Structure 1
């Protein structure tokens, strides 16, 4: 149990609710957004989203500048 080891090792939690909150904060605050993921090309979810939206913005910029028709004589 990697999450258990990383999240609660050395801590004493008084109630199950406190343990649940500690796990939720760990998973939501650290584990999910920062951990690299193989299926995301070894990027963290945050890095993957930043890259995705940067690529999307770059594609939109290209689409905003339509090519002008070539002038023929």
Structure 2
């Protein structure tokens, strides 16, 4: 989470300063940048994109239970709580 914050704000503040303030090593930040994206992160992004598509296609009517049902029908193993969290995080 700290590294993501640093990455998002690196154009406004120096990486060195942010690392110092947040108490993280600058070398760890750069190692984090080079690390490949995890499978879990890729899956979360894929599900988030699909949740958004389903929500918009439903004219913004479907909630997490219905979207979860559709995702499961499509073969995606996902919990309703995960879908609800994704919807909340994305303002859906």
> What is the TM-score with the length of structure 1 in the denominator?
0.30
Ranked by relative contact order (alpha carbons within 8 Å, sequence separation 6 or more), the top structure is 2
Larger Cα-atom Rg: 1
